[in-house]
Structure 1
Amino acid sequence: MLYYLFRFLEQFGLPGSNLWSYISFRALLALMLALVISAWFGEYFIKWMRRHNFSEVQRDASIDPYGEKKKNVPSMGGIIIIVSVLVPCILLGRLRNIYMILMIVTTVWLGMLGFIDDYIKNFKKNKDGLSGKFKILGQVILGLIVGLVLYFSPDAVIRENVEIEHKGGVHTEVVHKSEAVKSTKTTIPFVKNNNLDYSSIVSFCGQYKTQAGWILFVIVTIFVITAVSNGANLNDGMDGMAAGNSAIICIALGILAYVSSHIEYASYLNIMYIPGSQELVIFICAMIGALIGFLWYNAYPAQIFMGDTGSLTIGGVIAVLAIIIHKELLIPLLCGVFLVESLSVILQVEYFKLGKRKGIRQRLFKRTPIHDNFRVLPEQLDPSCRYVFKNWPRGAWHESKITVRFWITTILLAAATIITLKIR
């Protein structure tokens, strides 16, 4: 809204109105505004939740050794994050940009899905919350919407990067095709020609390979959104854990979105140029500001938890951002912490079932998701159960130490993700 207002006033020579045409100005303003809203609104929201006794269902002390200290801590803090993201985007973003529209829809859709889950847990006092199949259904529908919009929208296009050899192959220049086209290509790491076309995977479909490529793209979109959203949800188990990791991931995505929207940087890095994706930088900066502001209250000891309202939304936002800039195949590296959290749960369940069929009580880890494995006290272990990683680690780490070490791991993964653009 303010963007359009000041661009209108620019024609009358209003001093400073031209600043609103710069992405850097609007992005940093969005970050600061989101941070201030998050910190200011967060205080009032926490007081309101406490006043009405809307707190998270008491945690199981056998799983969380610090659970007793977290009684009566309000949840649903994801509302703080969502409000802090949407307000700057509406004020500072170009609301006719298809990518900005998709991000706002993603935020609201998954925010509502998580809110329903938290409402059942906190207001209805049902710790099971929304059924898992309904969460998956909501994520699948969102993935279908995102995939189809990117397929049908005339504004969702790319300009492909092409290498041109000069002087007998001694010098290579990267240029972008002049025509913007719809494409099922995505960036893959560690290879010379770093574009993978989904249509080439289904080339056996002959003359229908383009349509089949888009179908495959939509399927991948659904899978990525569902996987990352649930991975972020699993990562949300300690004070500041999910918020800190997500902020770091968003910084990396912000860098990738910016270079993808700048034709000179895209040429230097030999990646596809995506016109219009610069508006994603506004959204990402708002998300970073909201998460940092939320950490003011969510860092140990937490005064509020984000709940599924926040974690499902954040994970979905990260996934959709990566899909829009055609970097979804970098997600396993960038979101490696989320991936390991999800895999640890899957492996734990399957290993337990395998032992159950043999009449043996066994587990791979002391607890899952994997971050819980590091805070289990020796006396909390089941003496009748066999643990593969019983002595890893020895004893238990404090929650804040686990959180910071996961942050450090995510920083390394984010740096490695960006580096992959030049390693071929």
Structure 2
Amino acid sequence: MFYHFLYPLKSYSIVFNIFRYITFRAIAASVTAFLICLILGPVLIRYLKKLSITNEIKRPHADSIHQFYAHKGDVPTMGGVLIVVSVLLSSFLWGNFNNSFFILCVVSLIGYCIVGFMDDWMKLKAQNSNGLGARVKLSSQVLIGLVLAFYLFLDPTFDKSISVPFLKNTQLLLGWVFLPFTVLVLVGTSNAINLTDGLDGLAVGCFVIAAGMFGLMTYVAGRIDYSTYLGITYIEKAGEMSVFCAALVGAGLGFLWFNSFPATIMMGDTGSLSLGGALATVAILAKKEIILLVVGGVFVWEALSVILQVTSFKLFKKRIFRMAPFHHHLQLIGWPESKVTIRLWIIAFILGLIGMSMLKLR
């Protein structure tokens, strides 16, 4: 809004020229989203408690970890609404809606938020952990992914390739493979963050790091001088996504204020699916899908631990971990919850730096 209404006033005063700069609007978007979270957080927590929307649903076949969550039964869930509302309000104030990439990021966030919200609501209504059901939930995620994939595939101006790390100006053309690949990135990322969301502050802390790194990468990709120097693909519309990423970072930090140990609110699928969808969309539009595997390495490992555990048990009747996702394994071998969270944050930060360095190592 500010960009569209105030920037045109630059002809009257040079002060309004500041709204042209992505860096200024990104910082403002981050601070705005953070403050919105801080202001609305206590209100939402009281409201959710009043409605008895709490985190007291037990998961089947997980008796070994119920001891760690007995004290969290009255903690409100569906807190992802706070993150999404903060991002949307901040994006509305500071974003450039003439940029199609920015709009796609917002639409993806809303789409996956709706799926997560419905899943959380069904869990609360039925008082079990089934939610929408695996098929409906996955089908909904795939449907959103297909809509985005076909939109980009039919756009003649969008490059249907992925950038190859370590090689200057090298892209791998995907052709029709672009469609299932895009869906895989979206569904995989949203579910990976969902699986990581099992400890206070774990998922949102790792997400803030990843979103911050992608904010920097999209800004660089959208600058022809920086992208030329680094030998990466210049993407004209990518820069505006750094404003969106900054809003994600601010909202994530604001939510972490309440979600850090001991949490007073949980994000639920409303938050985890929407954040995953948003991050994946940014990576797809910025041609950084491979780097996403590194920057989001904690999410990848959490999801992989579940896949390995299920596969091993079905084929060999043996478990690789005491429990999956991996953060529960660490709990069961004696690590306190806060230590698991902080150490995985550290790993996420290191992986983020490695991902950033991949821009230069070519």
Q: CA deviation at 1:193?
A: 4.0
Q: Determine the C-alpha separation between the residues in 2 that align with 1:43 and 1:34.
A: 15
**Is 1:27 aligned with 2:3?**
no
- Give the corresponding residue for 2:271: 310
Moved more, 54-63 or 265-274: 54-63
**Is 1:73 aligned with 2:68?**
no
Asked if the contact 2:123/2:129 (under 8 Å) is kept, the reply is yes
Q: CA deviation at 1:58?
A: 3.5
Match of 1:198 among 173, 177, 190: 173
> Structure 1 residues 265 and 15 mapped into 2: Cα distance closer, same or farther (>3 Å)?
closer
**Is 1:365 aligned with 2:321?**
yes
> What's the CA shift string for 1:186-224, capped at 9, x where partnerless?
21123x34523225xxxxxxxxxxxxx1x2112110011
> What's the CA shift string for 1:73-97, capped at 9, x where partnerless?
1000000000000001111111121
Query: Where in structure 2 are the equivalents of 1:55-70 lying within 5 Å?
Result: 55-59=54-58, 62-70=64-72
- Give the corresponding residue for 1:185: 161
Asked if the contact 2:33/2:250 (under 8 Å) is kept, the reply is yes
- Give the corresponding residue for 1:234: 195
> What's the CA shift string for 1:338-392, capped at 9, x where partnerless?
1111111111111111234xxxxx311101000100111xxxxxxxxxxxxxxxx
Q: CA deviation at 1:110?
A: 0.3
Q: CA deviation at 1:228?
A: 0.8
Asked if the contact 1:249/1:335 (under 8 Å) is kept, the reply is yes
- Give the corresponding residue for 1:388: none
- Give the corresponding residue for 1:169: none
> What's the CA shift string for 1:19-62, capped at 9, x where partnerless?
11111111111000000001111110000011121112334552
**Is 1:398 aligned with 2:336?**
yes
Gaps of 5+ in 1: 158-181, 200-212, 357-361, 377-394
Match of 2:204 among 243, 247, 251: 243
Name the TM-score, length of structure 1 as normaliser: 0.82
Aligned to 1:109, the other structure's residue is in SS state helix
Tell me which structure has the larger Cα radius of gyration: 1
- Give the corresponding residue for 2:354: 416
Aligned to 1:62, the other structure's residue is in SS state helix
> Structure 1 residues 123 and 39 mapped into 2: Cα distance closer, same or farther (>3 Å)?
farther
Aligned to 1:129, the other structure's residue is in SS state coil
Moved more, 270-279 or 144-153: 144-153
**Is 1:259 aligned with 2:234?**
no
- Give the corresponding residue for 1:375: 331
> What's the CA shift string for 1:90-120, capped at 9, x where partnerless?
1111112111110111011000000000111
Code of the residue aligned with 2:124 in structure 1: it is N
Asked if the contact 1:258/1:278 (under 8 Å) is kept, the reply is yes
- Give the corresponding residue for 1:151: 153
Query: Where in structure 2 are the equivalents of 1:73-92 lying within 5 Å?
Result: 73-92=75-94
- Give the corresponding residue for 2:251: 290
Q: CA deviation at 1:65?
A: 2.9
Name the TM-score, length of structure 2 as normaliser: 0.95
- Give the corresponding residue for 1:160: none
Aligned residue pairs: how many?
359
Q: CA deviation at 1:185?
A: 2.8
Asked if the contact 2:34/2:254 (under 8 Å) is kept, the reply is yes
Asked if the contact 1:54/1:122 (under 8 Å) is kept, the reply is yes
RMSD: 1.5
- Give the corresponding residue for 2:100: 98
**Is 1:276 aligned with 2:260?**
no
Asked if the contact 1:240/1:299 (under 8 Å) is kept, the reply is yes
Moved more, 51-60 or 310-319: 51-60
Aligned to 1:197, the other structure's residue is in SS state strand
Q: Give the % identical residues.
A: 37
Code of the residue aligned with 2:323 in structure 1: it is R
- Give the corresponding residue for 1:139: 141
Code of the residue aligned with 2:159 in structure 1: it is S
Aligned to 2:353, the other structure's residue is in SS state helix
